Amino acid sequence: MVSLSEAEPLIKRAVSANEMLVVIGNCYVEYFGRAASKLLNGKRMLLIKADKSFAIHQNKYLRPINYMMNADITVKFNAANECLEVIASKRNPKETIKVTFNSIDFLQGFKLDDFQDIRLFGSEDELSAQLLDDLSFIENGLKPYKGEIPFRKGVVDILAEDEKGNIVVIEVKRRKATLDAVSQLHRYKEQLSKIKHKNVRGLLLAPEITVNAMKMLEDYGLEFFKFDFEISNPKARIKGLQRKQRTLFEV
Amino acid sequence: MVSLSEAEPLIKRAVSANEMLVVIGNCYVEYFGRAASKLLNGKRMLLIKADKSFAIHQNKYLRPINYMMNADITVKFNAANECLEVIASKRNPKETIKVTFNSIDFLQGFKLDDFQDIRLFGSEDELSAQLLDDLSFIENGLKPYKGEIPFRKGVVDILAEDEKGNIVVIEVKRRKATLDAVSQLHRYKEQLSKIKHKNVRGLLLAPEITVNAMKMLEDYGLEFFKFDFEISNPKARIKGLQRKQRTLFEV
DNA sequence: CGGGCTAGCTGCGAG
DNA sequence: CTCGCAGTTAGCCCG
């Protein structure tokens, strides 16, 4: 137990020292900004990090119930109402979270030295890069497109050219393709067709596709290419693709 | 400071008691599942909640760097290697997070009684419901569509009928409309056109729209309807719409 | 359980 | 700054 008046300076010091601050207590929370919300009294955790991310965690869910990135944080002990107000605010967009503590069970700032960044494998970017090395497993003679295309880099996953000289725009999805993915590909194909006045093919590469997405893809005259990939090992991934060659058009 | 061997039973007890468990210490984290990741040694917080959500928080970002919903949690003190392994796993999809602690600075389980659910205002659902009450501010004679449409409830935001008997499919966005929103509306319009063999209009209702989205919308023969809304007060929100009537087609 | 979609999405990267 | 998009998206709701 920490008294509310004691808490005020402790919070201020921890925040200015860029510590990871944990406050647990009974509070209610009001938010106003892009939307508005109210959370009535209950016991929760307030978590403030070095980058001024501000989060209220209930004892459920991965994500905080109220939150703000890059918050300006002010703390004020209200003697008249016997409560401690912790306020996070920012502009652009203008937003405010007010946390009003009635009691505090626990309060501590932690100095967390952590200079490591996560290394993630199996992202869509990584997949696309792998695929670009060898497109022939998709179709004989398919290779990266060499020409100039006024397309913002990174928008289209892969641009290729087939044996007949058609441009092939390829959208890669690391998980089951949905209606969204088909719409996206359709968009790219249409935009490309307008720019280049030749035949453009649209190819969706994914491990699976929903039934509705498949129907829509066929309506749009796009093509689906099923593929599986191994997360653990880049080599295995490409080999896996090659092994799949025979059954690629199974849906 | 808590010794690693002491930590094992403490964690087990807190987890089985559905407490919110906070462990802070030096650890490395390996994840394998939908993707794969490695996070080298550093000081972080492990946060396990009553619903078995499992999260590793660095001293930055709102979101955990590694996480799992509904985890099966096992704890094992490894005397040989002088480390404590906390493992979260689940199937479908099969995933594993292994957290290996070298030292623990802090460990505590908190009983958090919190029976409150958040009340959120200004969601898209809420907006759609408000709008449905009176569509005439968009266009004279526009009213909710009465006929039977084999459309899954909740997919299309609003279905309306205009003075000429056209079906009007309305997509509502609470923030600036993007290419995605236009694709979505286009999708609905096409599907509806196929079902009903009459003219279908597509209307995008949003406070703003990006330049590219506007171009695409025009290409598709869709219509944009700018509107602003007040979050705080439902009445004010509708009044706000009415007041905007004169300038609605400003982009 | 899968499909489809919103989210106060967050976070990233390019122009 | 905005735009566009991926995400181990999460979380919700409906068939």
Spatial distance from the CA of B35 to the C1' of C7 (Å)? 23
For nucleotide D5, the protein residue with its alpha carbon nearest to C1' is A155
For residue A116, say whether its CB is under 7 Å from any atom of strand D: no
% of chain B exceeding 70 in pLDDT: 92
d(C-alpha A237, C-alpha A230), whole Å: 5
Spatial distance from the CA of B232 to the C1' of D11 (Å)? 24
Q: Which residues contact A211 (CB under 8 A, 6 or more apart)?
A: none
Average pLDDT in chain A:
90
pLDDT > 70? residue A242: no
Best of B40, B62, B176 to substitute, by most chain A Cβ atoms within 10 angstroms, is B62
Q: How much is the pLDDT for B250?
A: 30
% of chain A exceeding 90 in pLDDT: 80
Cα angle vertex B54, ends A210, B117, to 5°? 80
- As a whole number, mean pLDDT of residues A142-154 equals 84
Q: Locate the chain B residue with the closest alpha carbon to A230.
A: B35
Q: Specify the higher pLDDT residue, A212 or B113.
A: A212
Beta bridge partners of A203: A170, A223
Beta bridge partners of A46: A23, A56
The 10s digit of each residue's pLDDT in A88-128 is 999 999 999 999 999 999 999 999 988 899 999 999 999 99
Q: Picking from A2-11, A174-183, A206-215, B132-141, which range would have the lowest pLDDT averaged per residue?
A: B132-141
Give A39's contacts in chain B (Cβ within 8 Å).
116, 118-119
A 189-228 residues with CB < 8 A to B: 216
> Cα distance from B13 to chain A (closest Cα, Å)?
16
Spatial distance from the CA of A98 to the C1' of C9 (Å)? 21
d(C-alpha B111, C-alpha B92), whole Å: 30
pLDDT > 60? residue B99: yes
DSSP B99: E
B114/A58 Cβ within 8 A: yes
Closest CA to B122 of B75, B162, B175: B175
Q: Locate the chain B residue with the closest alpha carbon to A15.
A: B59
pLDDT > 70? residue A238: no
Give A105's contacts in chain B (Cβ within 8 Å).
110
Beta bridge partners of A108: A22
Provide the token pair at A238: 């490409």
- As a whole number, mean pLDDT of residues A174-183 equals 97
- As a whole number, mean pLDDT of residues A47-63 equals 98
H-state helical runs in chain A: 4-16, 124-133, 179-195, 211-219, 234-243
Closest CA to A52 of A107, A14, A93: A14
The 10s digit of each residue's pLDDT in B48-74 is 999 999 999 999 999 999 999 999 999
Q: Picking from A45-59, A210-224, B34-48, B151-165, which range would have the lowest pLDDT averaged per residue?
A: B151-165
A122/B34 Cβ within 8 A: yes
pLDDT-derived band at B194, boundaries 50, 70, 90: confident
pLDDT > 80? residue A251: no
pLDDT-derived band at A146, boundaries 50, 70, 90: confident
Closest CA to B125 of B174, B169, B179: B174
Q: How much is the pLDDT for B19?
A: 98
Strand pairing category for A54-57 and A66-68: antiparallel
Q: How much is the pLDDT for A20?
A: 98
Sheet with B143-144: list strands edge to edge. Answer: B143-144, B158-161, B167-172, B200-206, B223-226
Provide the token pair at A137: 């497993």
d(C-alpha B170, C-alpha B157), whole Å: 6
- Residue A97: which region, alpha, beta or left (left: phi > 0; alpha: psi -120 to 50)? beta
> Cα distance from B45 to chain A (closest Cα, Å)?
9
A112/B44 Cβ within 8 A: yes
Q: How much is the pLDDT for A144?
A: 93
Residue A115, chain B, CB below 8 Å: the answer is yes
pLDDT-derived band at B154, boundaries 50, 70, 90: confident
pLDDT-derived band at B247, boundaries 50, 70, 90: very low
C-beta neighbour count of B28 within 10 angstroms: 17
Quick one: chain B helix, strand, coil %, rounded to 5? 25, 35, 40
Average pLDDT in chain B:
90
- The beta-carbon neighbor of A187 closest among B34, B39, B183 is B183
The number of residues in chain B equals: 251
For nucleotide C14, the protein residue with its alpha carbon nearest to C1' is A153
DSSP B175: S
Amino acid letter, B147: G
Asked if A68 and A95 touch (Cβ cutoff 8 Å), the reply is yes
Q: Picking from A49-53, A124-128, B30-34, which range would have the lowest pLDDT averaged per residue?
A: A124-128
Residue B249, chain A, CB below 8 Å: the answer is no
pLDDT-derived band at A244, boundaries 50, 70, 90: very low
Question: Which nucleotide does the CA of A154 lie closest to, via C1'?
Answer: C14
- As a whole number, mean pLDDT of residues A140-163 equals 88
d(C-alpha A234, C-alpha A126), whole Å: 9
Q: Specify the higher pLDDT residue, A201 or B148.
A: A201
